[in-house]
Amino acid sequence: MQEFTDDDDFMENGRLKSPHSSPTLEHVGGDSIGEPGPGDEVACRDCPAAIWYWKGSDRIFCFCSAMHEKTWGSGEQPVEFCDAREQEVAKMLPKARPQRS
């Protein structure tokens, strides 16, 4: 189990570091979707509640199972910070992590 010693071990850019990665994003590269994929600034990129899908077209989409709405694609403004992401990532992290203040 990973051991956290200070805030830098479990925080990055104001968000919890997520051990989750989307199999769809890993499978579908930027060349396949014909547009830049979600960058690191997009909260949904490594969120366990995000449902990424690709319809075989040149677009990739994300549906949030926590907010029950589309959060990426078709001109949507990307989500940069989200409490639902932080809650879901926190569930995945070791229980002995420091508490956020």
Tell me: the pLDDT tens digits for 21-67? 999 988 886 555 556 678 888 999 999 999 999 887 667 899 999 99
List, in sequence order, every residue forming a beta bridge with 52; answer none if it has no partner: 62
Q: Give the percent of the chain with pLDDT over 90.
A: 36
pTM: 0.73
Give me the mean pLDDT over the 75-95 stretch: 88
2 confidence band (pLDDT: 50, 70, 90)? very low
Q: What is the 3-state secondary structure (H, E, C) of 35-68?
A: CCCCCCCCHHHHCCCEEEEECCCCCEEEEECCCC
What mean pLDDT value characterizes the chain?
80
Q: Which residues contact 63 (CB under 8 A, 6 or more apart)?
A: 50, 51, 53, 69, 70, 71
List, in sequence order, every residue forming a beta bridge with 12; answer none if it has no partner: 15
